[in-house]
Amino acid sequence: MTDLRRLTLGLLYGLIAGAFWGGVFLAPLLLVDFTPLQMTAGRYLAYGLASLVLLAPTALAVFGRMTGRDWRDLALLSLLGNLIYYVGLAVAVQNAGVAAASLIIGLLPVTVTLVGARPGEGVPLRRLAAPLALLAAGVVCINIDVFRSGEGAPAPRLILGVLGAVLALACWTLYAVWNARRLASTPTFNSHEWSLLTGVVTGALSLVLIVPAFLAGGAAHGSSAWTLFWGVSLAVALGASVIGNGLWNAASRLLPLSLSGQLIVFETLFALLYGFLHEGRWPRPLESAAIALMLAGVLWSVSLHRPSGVASNMTGT
């Protein structure tokens, strides 16, 4: 596969994954009567079942290639990138709102690029300083808009939401870097198999959440509420977890971390877009500026990662 084809496919996979992941930010708003722990358990039980069904035709062959290290790493990756991350995200959205949650978690392109950088891999960090600065400026614009708009939650809830978002940011930063390294050193499984195995392990781990989430008291819900709950959980499981994670794993294998880390910005942009549609309004000026800055930062980074031969052909030299 040529470098240009790898770049194009990796960008496309990352873009579509971001479109699916952005919908995750709407789920806590649609399921506002349920707790973050219930939403996490529901989503990942559905993810585990869907993954097991999709893996069934080749399950014996795939499980036969598994080692103890594979099971251990998948369990830790599932905890970081799925269970703990989603609890933090749900807490952030329900207590601080979509914009506040997305602005903090929107720092992922910066944190993943900085944490995952290795000498001699991808583009040197000093050349990425300007694109990363644009991404950070976009996050600052969203931050300013949240507090100017006067729609923030009371201080205690806002602080809880911010802490949830910071937890989600830390967990997914570690997950993205570790998962990309693990995929690069794991030729035994393709991206689709690794994604489904992650789903199976996450589903198994989410069984532990059933008792505290559903059986240890809490508010009662009618049949219509439970229908909505399981419908949203299944939609998020299939869209964000099965399809989104599979596409992200494919992108991670095609692109260096110095670029793939920044493509997570598409999750933030789509989350904002879906939030605007849900609220039935156009973005405010600062929100528009943030979107423009983030897109400019990603496009600039893409141009820096373009194969030198392609750049020469495009300039006619």
| Residue boundaries of the structural domains of the chain | 1-33, 34-82
pLDDT digits (tens, 9 = 90+) for 246-260: 898 888 888 876 677
More confident of the two residues 10 and 145: 10
Q: Please give the average per-residue pLDDT across 212-238, as a whole number.
A: 84
Distances (CA, A) of 111 to 45, 91, 159, 175: 29, 21, 21, 11
Residue for token digits 């399921």? 31
Specify the range with the lowest mean pLDDT, choosing from 11-15, 27-31, 116-120, 167-171.
116-120
Binned at pLDDT 50, 70 and 90, residue 205 comes out as very high
Q: Give 226's contacts (C-beta < 8 A, 6+ positions apart).
A: none
Residue 147 pLDDT: 66
- The mean pLDDT value for 54-79 works out to 93
3-state SS assignment for residue 45: helix
Q: What is the mean pLDDT of the chain?
A: 82
Report the b/e string of 84-116 with b at 16+ CB within 10 A. Answer: bbbbbbbbbbbbbbbbbbbbbbbbbbbbbbbeb
Record the pTM. 0.79
pLDDT: is 143 or 17 the higher one?
A: 17
* Percent of the chain at pLDDT exceeding 70: 88
Highest average pLDDT, of 63-77, 107-121, 132-146, comes from 63-77
Q: Is the pLDDT of residue 55 over 70?
A: yes
More confident call, 141 vs 103: 141
Q: What is the pLDDT of residue 309?
A: 43
CA atoms within 13 A of residue 189's CA, in its CB half-sphere: 28
